[in-house]
């Protein structure tokens, strides 16, 4: 059962600030969605994302009035951690989480755009590879790139992936893609805003794990 498309990200205000509570509520549905993909190979990805979310939530819950937006968290941690920052705390967790979100953004956009491997139209590897190259590959050393290759072999068929996006129900492809496009509107704006925030605060790091 997927709650992904049912749980839209909020529209951002004019200043493009991201409300921490709303963001945490929205990303909290990702782990359950990853479970719907059906292979244990994805559990490593799920625990990474759960770890990121838990860390951000842990900071937020210490003082919700202080950390109303994600920018408040980054600015507070910059003050608190000095030269250790940004490779620390919720800033580091969000740095990685946003890459996972960018991966999902590119993957869903590619599916919505109808990109396909013409010889294997029921595979989504073209879209997954595009997402990986655009969001994650440069941050991965060769061992993690091998994990990605293993995950690629376990990737669901297009039909199963679309079914997972439709709460396990058989829904016409075009209908699912309409929902994907709707979901992508606020989701993409949010992911872009988080990337821009990291750039403007000079918080982005480009080491590989």
Span interacting with ligand 0SG, options 8-16, 20-28, 91-99, 181-189, rule CB under 6 A: 91-99
Q: Is residue 147 close enough to count as binding ligand 0SG by CB under 6 A?
A: yes
The gap between the terminal CA atoms of the chain, to the nearest Å, is: 32
Q: Is residue 178 close enough to count as binding ligand 0SG by CB under 6 A?
A: no
State the minimum distance, in angstroms, from the CB of residue 136 to ligand 0SG.
5
State the minimum distance, in angstroms, from the CB of residue 174 to ligand 0SG.
20
Contact letters for ligand 0SG, residues 25-64 (x by CB under 6 A): ---------x--x------xx--x--xx--x---------
Long-range contact set of residues 31-39: C-beta below 8 Å, sequence gap at least 24: 32/1, 32/2, 32/3, 33/2, 33/3, 33/4, 33/164, 36/1, 36/2, 36/164, 36/168, 37/156, 37/161, 37/164, 38/156, 38/160, 38/164, 39/154, 39/156
- How many chain residues are in contact with ligand 0SG, going by CB under 6 A? 26
Q: Is residue 103 close enough to count as binding ligand 0SG by CB under 6 A?
A: yes
Tell me 139's DSSP state.
Answer: G
State the minimum distance, in angstroms, from the CB of residue 7 to ligand 0SG.
14
The enclosing H or E element of 117 equals: none
The enclosing H or E element of 200 equals: helix 173-200
How many other C-beta atoms can be found within 10 angstroms of the C-beta atom of residue 160? Answer: 16
Q: Is residue 9 close enough to count as binding ligand 0SG by CB under 6 A?
A: no
d(CA 4, CA 161): 12
Q: Is residue 100 close enough to count as binding ligand 0SG by CB under 6 A?
A: yes
State the minimum distance, in angstroms, from the CB of residue 153 to ligand 0SG.
10
Span interacting with ligand 0SG, options 10-18, 67-75, 92-100, 114-122, rule CB under 6 A: 92-100
d(CA 139, CA 32): 25
> Which one, 15 or 206, has the nearer CB to ligand 0SG?
206
What would the two tokens of residue 140 be?
Answer: 């991965």
State the minimum distance, in angstroms, from the CB of residue 144 to ligand 0SG.
5
Q: Is residue 85 close enough to count as binding ligand 0SG by CB under 6 A?
A: no
Would you say 98 and 198 are in contact if contact means Cβ atoms under 8 Å apart? yes
């Amino acid at each position: 059962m997927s709650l992904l498309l049912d749980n839209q990200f909020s529209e951002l205000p004019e200043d493009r600030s991201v409300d921490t509570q709303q963001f945490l509520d929205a990303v909290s549905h990702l782990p359950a969605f990853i479970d719907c993909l059906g292979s244990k190979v994805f559990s490593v990805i799920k625990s990474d994302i759960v770890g990121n979310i838990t860390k951000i939530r842990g900071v937020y819950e210490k003082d919700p009035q202080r950390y109303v937006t994600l920018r408040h968290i980054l600015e507070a941690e910059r003050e608190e951690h000095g030269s250790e920052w940004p490779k620390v705390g919720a800033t580091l967790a969000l740095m990685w989480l946003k890459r996972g979100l960018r991966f999902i953004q590119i993957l869903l956009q590619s599916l919505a755009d109808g990109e396909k491997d013409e010889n294997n139209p029921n595979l989504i590897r073209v879209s997954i590879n595009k997402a990986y190259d655009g969001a994650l590959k440069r941050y991965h050393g060769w061992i993690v790139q091998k994990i990605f290759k293993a995950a690629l072999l376990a990737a669901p068929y297009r039909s199963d992936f679309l079914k997972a996006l439709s709460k396990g129900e058989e829904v016409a492809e075009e209908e699912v893609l309409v929902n994907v496009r709707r979901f992508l509107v606020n989701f993409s704006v949010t992911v872009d805003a988080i990337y821009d925030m990291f750039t403007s605060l000079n918080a982005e790091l480009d080491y590989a794990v």
